[in-house]
Amino acid sequence: MAYRVNDQNEAILKNPNNDDGNRNFDKGIVSNRLDLFSEIDLVYKRYYGIRISGAAWYDQRYHDGLDNDSLATANNTENKSPSLDLNNYVDSYYAGPDCELLDAFVFGKFHLSSIPVNVKIGPALGHVGGESVVGRLPA
């Protein structure tokens, strides 16, 4: 849970290009997000298996309505008109409910002649720090 302890910042409110985030929440609760992360490894005889992981989230505070009532300075548009609603990105990745598949691959290890071989087949997904990099990873 996140709580705003101060009023909206007057200096930010004077800039119509940067004020939406400040206007969206008055003093009080600004987030009560629920995040779920789950992963499963199914392994057969320590040599073959499958791994799947995913995340889901939901923040009720965004569904309770925002405090922004300044249509004149709104930076979001809907049908080419200013809108106080959230754009699709924010609605999905902040408000939710939404989810994403993080890992999904099969793996196996065996010997090719006397050479040990480890194989993973699935979408390339590498974790760099706290971020995820999806797609082709550099060689």
Write down the pTM of the prediction.
Answer: 0.68
- Rounded Cα distance, 7 and 74, in Å: 19
C-alpha distances in angstroms, 49 versus 39, 113, 134? 13, 22, 22
pLDDT in tens, the chain (139 residues): 999 999 988 898 888 888 888 888 899 999 999 999 999 999 999 999 999 999 999 999 988 888 888 888 888 788 888 888 888 888 888 888 999 998 899 999 999 999 999 998 987 555 555 555 455 544 4
Count of residues in the chain: 139
Looking at residue 53, its pLDDT comes to 93
Run of H or E residues at 88: helix 88-90
Which residues neighbour 16 within 8 Å (Cβ) at sequence distance 6 or greater? 72, 73, 75
Give me the residue spans of the domains in the chain: 2-134
